[in-house]
Amino acid sequence: MPSSTQSVRRSVALPPALVEQAMEAAPPELRGNFNGLVRSLLEAYVKQRRVYEFAQEMRSMAADPSIQQASAFINNEFAVAENDGLGESDDPPR
């Protein structure tokens, strides 16, 4: 994988209207820099996909019966500690 100081050149074919709309929607600092805009959008896309994929993994784990069983066991083990009164007080707030 190239380092952040290297660049990889790619050629893409885009409809002119899409390029125009993208440049119009771009933040002011990127309106004259199509390469910068594409880079910014790709970075945002990669970040969004990673968040999405992580959420998918969490949903998958949550639906896994063995994970549910382990979670229930852990919750049961800590139930005693949750009921020990720490952080709670019978004294009224001042």
Q: Using DSSP, state whether 4 is helix, strand or coil.
A: coil
10 Å Cβ neighbour count for 38?
16
Q: Which pLDDT tens digit goes with each residue over 21-62?
A: 999 999 999 999 999 999 999 999 999 999 999 999 999 999
> Is residue 2 within 8 Å of 10, Cβ to Cβ?
no
Q: Please enumerate in sequence order all residues whose Cβ is within 8 A of that of 34, keeping only pairs 6 or more positions apart, or say none.
A: 19, 22, 23
pTM check: above 0.75: no
Structure tokens, 36: 């910068």
CA–CA separation, 80 vs 74, rounded Å?
A: 11
Q: Which pLDDT tens digit goes with each residue over 70-91?
A: 999 999 888 877 776 665 555 6
